[in-house]
Structure 1
């Protein structure tokens, strides 16, 4: 049986960490997590999505204001450098639209989305799905990573993570699974379970 410690050591890097996002409960890192979520929310390798996020952030596109202030071509070029192909043009459009929505609806601060949802996990998921390209899977990706910051999301394990846990002989019930790690490691465990299905 795989131990939780083995899982965390082998697969416990979160996608936010891989994309170079230093997660804090402040507007810029939360927006960067949303960008990563938009990049991951289509059929593309998560590693490629993380590389694309790094390229966008290296270009200074770390806030909704910077994203809406960039040109479509600048976004396409950044995605191209990460080999985020086939979807680069549509994604460049989606990123601009998403940034505009975040600015208009939540004044550039996703903590306002959290408050609009009254810190209810299901409502947070519904509001996230209003962002272009983010469907149920994308909302799960965001909540999986954001549980590090927003305690009301804990423990968050999507269906894929719970299925992986069962396959590894670990508890399939979220609370029992969460009891195996510290609260600060829940996002890592959830990601490790998902990554374990890809290796």
Structure 2
């Protein structure tokens, strides 16, 4: 009897046809756009459909989104059934793209200025309308590609498990440990 292996799960960028490994500005912006849409409390299929509509219309840069304007964005979001959040999301996309363009010019420049993933997350959260959820979604996929392993985060230093090893590590003798209990 042959056992089937579970299907490999593609990452969300891969499912959306985004090639983050290329490190191209257009691919980074497509992922940024998708994260802005996924950051709303809306069904994943609707967010994917909205993303696809924006990509079909070639809104692949902050300048392109700004040129499209609020009316076109609302129409595209409505086409994807992004109905309850269409007005606010259109305004959010325009505002975030304007901020990105003014502060950094490109996502590549933003990421170059952030030396670590945690710095990138903090810089993203400085944008109006980008909170921890959107920043976490964006960074989760980019961190292994963009930052070297030592830069991912600063892991807590693990303490030795045995007390004797901890005492040795910190230069504490047995006398120090028992002194407080003596007379």
Please report the TM-score for the alignment, with normalisation by the length of structure 1: 0.67
1:135 matches 2:131: yes
Give ranges in structure 2 of 5+ residues lacking alignment. Answer: 156-183
User: Which residue pairs with 2:54 in the alignment?
Assistant: 56
Residue 115 of structure 1 and its aligned partner are, at CA, apart by 2.1
CA RMSD of superposed structures (Å): 2.2
Higher gyration radius (CA): 2
SS at match of 1:71: helix
d(CA) in 2 for partners of 1:51, 1:134: 21
Q: Any residues of structure 2 matched to 1:6-21 within 5 Å, and which?
A: 6=6, 9=7, 12-21=9-18
Query: What's the counterpart of residue 118 of structure 2?
Result: 122
Match of 1:28 among 5, 26, 29: 26
Structure 2 residue corresponding to 1:84, chosen from 82, 107, 125: 82
- 1:1-199 correspondence to structure 2 within 5 Å: 6=6, 9=7, 12-23=9-20, 24-107=22-105, 109-117=106-114, 119-152=115-148
Runs (5+) with no aligned partner, structure 1: 157-172, 174-199
Offset of residue 43 of structure 1 = 0.7
Q: Secondary structure at the match of 2:72?
A: helix
Would you say the 8 A contact 1:72–1:92 is kept in 2?
Answer: yes
After TM superposition, what 4+ stretches of structure 1 lie above 6 angstroms from structure 2? 153-156
Mark the CA change 1:153 to 1:57 in structure 2 (over 3 Å): closer, same or farther: farther
Range with bigger deviation, 51-60 or 125-134 = 125-134
Once residues 153 and 132 of structure 1 are traced to their aligned partners in structure 2, the CA distance between those partners, rounded to angstroms, is 29
> Aligned-pair distance for 1:59?
0.9
Aligned pair count reads 148
- Please give the secondary structure, in 1, of the residue aligned with 2:145: coil
Deviates more, 1:96-105 or 1:13-22: 13-22
Q: Tell me: CA distance 1:92–1:102, structure 2 relative to 1, closer, same or farther (3 Å).
A: same
C-alpha change, 1:136 and 1:47, in structure 2 (3 Å) is same
Whether the aligned pair in 1 keeps the contact of 2:125 and 2:135 (CA below 8 Å) is yes
